[in-house]
Chains A and B, each alone.
Chain A
Amino acid sequence: MAGVVVGRLPPAQRRKLGFAVIPEERLGRGAVAEMSLAENTLLTEAGHGLVVRGLVRGRAAAGYAAEIIERFDVVARGADAEADSLSGGNLQKFMLGREILKKPKLLVAAHPTWGVDVGAAAQIHRALIEMRDAGAAILLISEDLDELLAISDRIAVISRGRLSPPIAAEGAARERIGALMTGSFAEGAHAA
Chain B
Amino acid sequence: MRLRLEPRTETARWLLFATPLLAAVLTLACGVVMFAALGYDPGQALTSFFVKPIDSFYGLTELALKATPLLLCALGLAVGFRGNVWNIGAEGQLTIGAVCAGGLALAFHGEEPFWLLPAMAVAGALGGAAWAAIPAFLRTRFNANEILTSLMLTYIALHVLGYLVHGPWQNPEGYNFPQSRDFGEAATVPLLVEGMRLHVGSLLALLLVPAAWLLLDKSYLGFQIRVTGLAPGAAAYAGFPGRRIVWAGFLAGGAMAGLAGMLEAAGPIGKLQPLISPGYGFAAIIVAFLGRLNAFGILFASLLVALLYLGGETAQIDLKLPPAVTGVFQGLLLFFLLGSDFLARYRFRLVRRAAP
**Chain A positions near chain B (C-beta within 8 angstroms):** 10-12, 14-15, 21, 23, 25, 27-35, 39, 42-44, 46, 51, 54-56, 58
Nearest A residue to B239, CB-CB: A11
**Chain B positions near chain A (C-beta within 8 angstroms):** 214, 218-223, 226-227, 230-231, 233-234, 236-239, 241
Give chain A's interface secondary structure class. loop
Nearest A residue to B217, CB-CB: A56
Instruction: State A33–B239 Cα separation when bound (angstroms).
Output: 18
Whether A32 lies near B227 (C-beta < 8 A) is: yes
Q: When the two chains form the complex, which single residue of B222, B238, B241 contacts A43, counting CB atoms closer than 8 Å?
A: B238
Q: List 15 A-B contacts (CB under 8 A).
A: A12-B239, A15-B239, A28-B234, A29-B231, A32-B227, A32-B234, A33-B230, A39-B223, A43-B234, A43-B237, A46-B220, A54-B219, A54-B221, A55-B220, A56-B220
Instruction: State A33–B9 Cα separation when bound (angstroms).
Output: 12
Total of A-B residue pairs, C-beta within 8 Å: 58
Nearest A residue to B234, CB-CB: A32
Q: When the two chains form the complex, which single residue of A12, A34, A55 contacts B219, counting CB atoms closer than 8 Å?
A: A55
Known: A28-B234, A29-B234, A43-B234. A35 touches B227 (CB 8 A): yes
Q: When the two chains form the complex, which single residue of B222, B223, B230, B233 contacts A25, counting CB atoms closer than 8 Å?
A: B233
Contacts of B220 in A (CB 8 A): 42, 46, 51, 54-56
Q: When the two chains form the complex, which single residue of B223, B234, B239 contacts A31, counting CB atoms closer than 8 Å?
A: B234
Contacts of A15 in B (CB 8 A): 239
Instruction: State A105–B71 Cα separation when bound (angstroms).
Output: 49
Contacts of A25 in B (CB 8 A): 233
Known: A29-B234, A31-B234, A35-B227. A10 touches B239 (CB 8 A): yes
Whether A34 lies near B230 (C-beta < 8 A) is: yes
Contacts of B227 in A (CB 8 A): 32, 35, 43
